[in-house]
Structure 1
């Protein structure tokens, strides 16, 4: 999932707005350059996402250059109040996070009884990942899945639209992230960035406390909700 498509205008000539401007400021250029220079790696699994990575990868803007990985945060609920949290991320040359989760992680929790799964994903699944999700749901009827995504990946492509309808038909509740979802993920899956001071000691960035929504978060979310509704209609 290397890139998210640039959305075409709707009937009102509206597209998801990018408060960062089409010409990315110097600070974001540096951030993207740092991300692009990261070496390839296999799917990484953990419990907390660095705050800067979350804010960059989950941003529901049209401008998506540099957002070349998928982050997936999951909550798995089993009987007797058992709740498990975690996240996965991928790199564009490796396996996708969704396929890794539904093929390798989730099966570990399907030994007995019903399972409720909620996945918060930075971008909607590609065709292959959607196929893995649909197979998992068809095979495991006791799984109740909610897939909550920040952006729609190449939503104008007929294969992608069909793949999204396929996972919906298989039983997945698919919707876009709202500000309430962003706040939930921030509180449960994000950790402050740690930097080194002049003495080489680690310290937390003081400005990273509460989640601060970007200007067009809700407007962009509504735009994508309309597009998703059209696809699933």
Structure 2
């Protein structure tokens, strides 16, 4: 499990409204500002600011009615235009107008969202189902970075629609958000060629998400899983207690392998937490949609299950007594809390094999879900950390096993023998 939960104000940032208003304006004042910052170059040196032109519409009788239109730009290196918009939208729209209304938001961005902003916007969309978001970006920000790609896919999974800005969007942006003195949009050289490059790259990034979505809905189609990248595996499955900078959240990744005993090809894939369902519950839902007999399911998971997931996994195992379920965790989630310890012990009692990932499990996970050609190279203190986490897990099992014995003795009713 991952230690961070999405609250009711997810996607909000600790910024003051005054800071946001100081960078909020109805129009971009100068034409040269628009042409400089929105030019869709492949290599845009010196363009270190982000402009966000937005339009907020409310659905009335099935038709969109425009409410607000304006421009945000980056305030400081730590306060981006997307975060300013989220704070403004929550304070000005959701807290003033009816939160039950349906809203449609359109963004025209000079740069696509960075890793952090994509994460914030995804959380916001996940907790505001009445809001839809359409994002047009002039350029892709660090599109080669796997962490940026991952959060763009997550943004897409939460319902955001994304595309590169074409001639039509550039023209609309200039007409709606720039003080242009009535001058028409003048396209620059290679606009269309650069648009095709940006849009093809974006769709390539998002297509991985769409493939995973199809596989999760129709598991029978999944004969070959989409692999984890090496960087994501080494960061998310790393069993070190403290992580090095930059500090990113370590989320739940669950790699599963379903093996039949009749010689059929194994079914492999990986799942991530969603806001409404954790990865373990998604796995259970997938398995329940299949006809399971005598099978073995092996799971490699970054965080051990939370109490709710442990309860559901135990019930799933009891419903399928012929099934062999093995769970190997890289790290223990809130292992010092009794209800989390009890959840793990209930898994053992239900017949689920729960253990800590060691070198052999990391190697097997790497081979089946990351890279079959390249040998696994262990990080520093991998085996030492595994032994330490394993001892901690053993103490949990022993202490709760002893507690069971004590409770059993306490429930005994000692009566004198009958004559």
- Normalised by the length of structure 1, the TM-score is 0.72
Higher percent of residues as helix:
2
Q: Deviation at 1:61?
A: 1.0
1:96 aligned onto 2:278: yes
1:184 Cα offset (Å): 0.9
What CA deviation, in whole Å up to 9, does each residue of 1:25-56 have, x standing for no partner?
A: xxxx9989748955453685544111111111
Deviation of residue 117 (structure 1)? Answer: 1.2
Q: Does residue 1:142 correspond to 2:307, yes or no?
A: no
Would the alpha carbon gap of residues 214 and 35 (structure 1) be closer, same or farther in structure 2, given more than 3 Å must change? farther
Distance 1:56 1:48 in 2: 15
Residue of structure 1 in register with 2:2 after alignment: 2
Shift of 1:185: 1.0
* In 1, Cα distance between equivalents of 2:337 and 2:146: 26
Q: Is the contact made by 2:271 and 2:283 (CA closer than 8 Å) also made in structure 1?
A: no
C-alpha separation in 1, matches of 2:255 and 2:280: 10
- Partner of residue 198, structure 1: none
| Unaligned residue ranges in structure 1 (runs of 5+) | 5-28, 193-207
The answer to whether structure 1 residue 51 and structure 2 residue 230 are counterparts is yes
1:110 aligns with 2:291: yes
- Tell me whether 1:183 sits opposite 2:348 in the alignment: no
Decide whether the 8 Å contact of 2:260 with 2:296 is kept in 1.
Answer: yes
Between the two structures, name the one with larger relative contact order (CA 8 Å, sep ≥ 6).
1
Helix, strand or coil for the counterpart of 2:387?
A: helix
Instruction: Give the match's secondary structure for 1:76.
Output: strand
- Structure 2: distance between partners of 1:77 and 1:118: 8
Paired residues for 1:1-233 under 5 Å: 1-3=1-3, 34=148, 38=152, 39-40=154-155, 41=157, 45=216, 46-63=225-242, 65-91=247-273, 93-102=275-284, 104-111=285-292, 113-191=293-371, 209-233=374-398
Counterpart-to-counterpart distance in 2, 1:110 and 1:144: 15
Q: Secondary structure at the match of 1:121?
A: strand
Distance 1:32 1:76 in 2: 28
In 2, Cα distance between equivalents of 1:229 and 1:35: 38
* Contact 1:124-1:153 within 8 A present in 2 as well: yes
Distance in 2 (CA, whole Å) between partners of 1:218 and 1:90 is 25
RMSD between superposed Cα atoms in Å: 2.8
Within 1, Cα distance between the matches of 2:229 and 2:150? 16
Residues 108 and 83 of structure 1, relative CA distance in 2, 3 Å threshold: farther
Determine the structure 1 residue equivalent to 2:196: none
- The alpha-carbon distance between structure 1 residues 222 and 109, as it changes in their structure 2 partners (threshold 3 A), is same
The two structures have a TM-score, normalised by structure 2, of 0.42
